[in-house]
Amino acid sequence: MSCACNIPLALLITVLVVSGPAHACIPPERPFLPASREDMRAYADLIRGDFEAYIADVQEYFRCLDDERARAFVEARQVSEDYGRFVDVLD
């Protein structure tokens, strides 16, 4: 027996899980390197492109992490100040 009242909550949870935080930094996927030398030679252009794309993407990922770290520090300072005001009100 299902309840239609749970549908909006389930939808909200799904949207939050799928979308994640707006400031999420997504690491690039590690490029594949075939084990055999023959495959490396046969697919050299594709493999080179994958590695070059990874290097560019990982640099962007590092910039994203740096930006997120800076944002988190600002937020933590603001939260700390908010908490200080809260504690002052209680005293």
pTM for the complete prediction?
0.65
Tell me how crowded residue 72 is: count the other CB atoms within 10 A of its CB: 11
pLDDT tens across 29-77, in order? 999 999 999 999 999 999 999 999 999 999 999 999 999 999 999 999 9
